[in-house]
Every structure is written in structure tokens, then in C-alpha cells.
Amino acid sequence: MKKNILVTGGAGYIGSHVCHKLLDDGFNVTIIDNLITGNRELVPNKAKLVVCDISDEKKINKILKENKFDLVMHFAGLIRVDESVKEPKKYDKFNFEKAKLFLDICTKNNLNKIIFSSTASVYGNPDNQRVSEDDPLNPLNPYAASKLKFENFLIEESKEDKIDYVILRYFNVAGADEKMRTGLTSNYSTHLIKIASEVATGKRENIIINGDDYKTYDGTAVRDYIHVSDLADIHLISGKYLMANKKSHIFNCGYGKGYSVKEVIKCFNEILDKEILYKIGPRRPGDSKMLVSNPDKFTNFFLWKPKFNDLKYILTTALKWEKKIK
């Protein structure tokens, strides 16, 4: 009998990739998305879409009473660091208060297994060049703080035996589905690779590098980029594990190799055989200088190997998607 998965934020960039992965693997998928930032066109045909907010208690209760779900994957939330610095209360409300209310509704309806979409931003500016799950947590912005707050709530709920969880801390997610079924469509993205793809396709004039005075090897911020399809695979594996076990985990999601902003631009230039224009701007409030994962916990636990661990491939799929939606 097919397992039933509930996905919040399934019309978004990462959520839609995970939904395709789940459907490809034979699961039934129901998506809850308010479509404020999500895109109906990214929803897979085989998935059921319910348009509502995760804080709509009446609708969520109705969905949970009419369906028996084996697992919930929670992607819904706000993700812009710059916006969170300007509107911290908004981020606490959406990413913590609403998520807490949603989880309370789930547990009252006996849905108590959750995969949570968290962020490497909870580490802040780590001392280690490759950060591990048990390293100190020091969020530098309200976005990261709201994610950590919900992580801590899940941990406390688990201690009371109310839920089982897998928390996935994403490093920088990029690229697009290799079959070009979905990708990043936001018009307000702050993602470097999305912006570079827009410049390459003539949708933007240039890239603004947010600071070139960091204490890194070329002065620009360093990030660990993971292909979104590998991240979708991590969700599939984590979901199968959680449905079969009563043990909770936190895992980093990255490749363990960092690239600076200038290195990413250089790689784009090699793909395009021309130079992308960029300007140097001020640092962005709340940004870390370097965030690179130690991914060993997940890879060793599940004996997992990534399929798309190649910066050039990540950029190529992002660029191909950008051309498709032009």
C-alpha cells in the first residue's frame, strides 16, 4: 500500500523538487501551499494541491481528518535574510509561531513524524572551516533565529515523546531538476546562482557582490553549494528512515566544499565563454563570511553518495532552467 506524504510549501523551489522525487518513488503526495511565494505551475501533476495557509486551523484539521498521512515534510516559511533583518517579528510569526500551531494540529491528529527544512545559517560564523551538527549555534539574523527556535521546539516535543523528527540543515541549494520539470522562479531571489543566471540570460544587468572585505582567501563570502536534486534525494532517504524508526536526527545537507562568490562567477564565465558583469557592494547585514558543511554524519549513516556534486553541473542546470522560463 502506498504511503501518504503531506508537504507544506510544495509549490516552492525545494518543495517542488522533493514532491517530484516522492512521486517518482511511488508515494502519494498532498501539498499545502498558500501560493504567496509558491508557484502553482511548479506543482507536479500527480500531486494533490490544497491552497491554504498552514495556520488555517479549520482547513488543516479537515485535511488531516479526511486523510491518513504517514509523514509531513515542512518547507513552508519565509527565507530572505535581508528582509528578516528589517522585519524580525514577521519572521518569528511565520517561521515559528505558525509552524508551531501547524505542528500542534498535526500531533492532535496523530501525524507525529516530521522532516523539517532548516538552515546552515543557525551556525552563524563558525570557527571550524567545515561545520558539524554538534558545533555551537549562533544565528546572525532573525531568519536563522526563527529556524533555530522551531528546531528547539521539535527537540522538546520529541523529549516528551510527541513526535519523531529529522531536521535537515541546508547549506546553499542551487541548480534545477535534470528533467527541467521545476526550478527557481522567484523574481526577488537573493541567491547568487539565480542572479548570475539572470545576468547571463539578459534579465539583469549585473551581479552585486555583497562585500569583498571578508577574511577569506579572495575577500568574498564562501558557501557550500548542493544541487537541489541531491537535496531531494536526502529528503526521500530521511523520510523512509523516519517512517520506519522512532529515532530523531539532525543532519547537515552539503558537499563539504566551499566556493567563494568570485569562484562561482568565474565558473559561470567558463560555461558562457564570456564575462558576467559584477559590481562590489556593501556587506549584507546578517551574512556569514564562510559556511561549509561537514556532511559525514548523513553520508556515513546512510552510506549515501551524491550524484550531482559538481559546481559546473549545478550552474549548467540553473542556466538551462533560466533559459526555459525566459
Do 115 and 208 belong together in one domain?
Answer: no
Do 135 and 248 belong together in one domain?
Answer: yes
Q: Considering the domain boundaries, does residue 199 fall inside one?
A: yes
pTM, two decimals, is 0.97
Do 121 and 150 belong together in one domain?
Answer: yes
Report d(CA 205, CA 245) in Å as an integer. 50
Residue 95 in 3-state DSSP? helix
Per-residue pLDDT of the chain (326 residues; tens, 9 = 90+): 899 999 999 999 999 999 999 999 999 999 999 999 999 999 999 999 999 999 999 999 999 999 999 999 999 999 988 899 999 999 999 999 999 999 999 999 999 999 999 999 999 999 888 999 999 999 999 999 999 999 999 999 999 999 999 999 999 999 999 999 999 997 777 899 999 999 999 999 999 999 999 999 999 999 999 999 999 999 999 999 999 999 999 999 999 999 999 999 999 999 999 999 899 999 988 889 999 999 999 999 999 999 999 999 999 999 999 999 96
Q: Considering the domain boundaries, does residue 182 fall inside one?
A: no
Residue 310 in 3-state DSSP? coil
Do 150 and 274 belong together in one domain?
Answer: no
Do 239 and 295 belong together in one domain?
Answer: no
Q: Considering the domain boundaries, does residue 90 fall inside one?
A: yes
Do 136 and 202 belong together in one domain?
Answer: no
Classify residue 9 by its DSSP letter: T
Q: Considering the domain boundaries, does residue 184 fall inside one?
A: no
CA-CA-CA-CA torsion sign (189, 192, 223, 230): positive
Q: Considering the domain boundaries, does residue 202 fall inside one?
A: yes
Report d(CA 117, CA 15) in Å as an integer. 9
Examine the residue annotation and report whether 188 is marked as an active-site residue of this protein: no
Do 164 and 263 belong together in one domain?
Answer: no
> CATH number for the domain including 306?
3.90.25.10
Domain of residue 292, residue span: 192-223+256-324
Do 92 and 157 belong together in one domain?
Answer: yes
Complete DSSP assignment for 110-165: T--EEEEEEEGGGG-S-SSSSB-TTS-----SHHHHHHHHHHHHHHHHHHTTS-EE
Q: Considering the domain boundaries, does residue 187 fall inside one?
A: no
Do 124 and 232 belong together in one domain?
Answer: yes
Residue closest to 216 by CA, chosen among 275, 154, 291: 291
CB 147 within 8 A of CB 94: no
Q: Which residues pair with 250 in a beta bridge?
A: 167
Cβ neighbours of residue 117 closer than 8 Å, sequence gap 6 or more: 9, 14, 15, 73, 74, 75, 77, 168, 170
Q: Considering the domain boundaries, does residue 77 fall inside one?
A: yes
The tally of domains found in the chain comes to 2
Report d(CA 269, CA 26) in Å as an integer. 39
Do 35 and 148 belong together in one domain?
Answer: yes
Q: Considering the domain boundaries, does residue 290 fall inside one?
A: yes
280: its cell numbers? 562590489
Catalytic residue, chosen from 143, 214, 255, 278, is 143
> CATH number for the domain including 81?
3.40.50.720
Per-residue model confidence as pLDDT tens digits over 152-204: 999 999 999 999 999 999 999 999 999 999 999 977 778 999 999 999 999 99
Classify residue 21 by its DSSP letter: H
Do 219 and 238 belong together in one domain?
Answer: no
Report d(CA 261, CA 171) in Å as an integer. 15
Report d(CA 298, CA 261) in Å as an integer. 26
Do 277 and 298 belong together in one domain?
Answer: yes
Report the Cα 244 to chain-centroid distance in Å. Answer: 24
Domain boundary pick from 208, 235, 253: 253
Residue closest to 171 by CA, chosen among 267, 283, 257, 297: 257
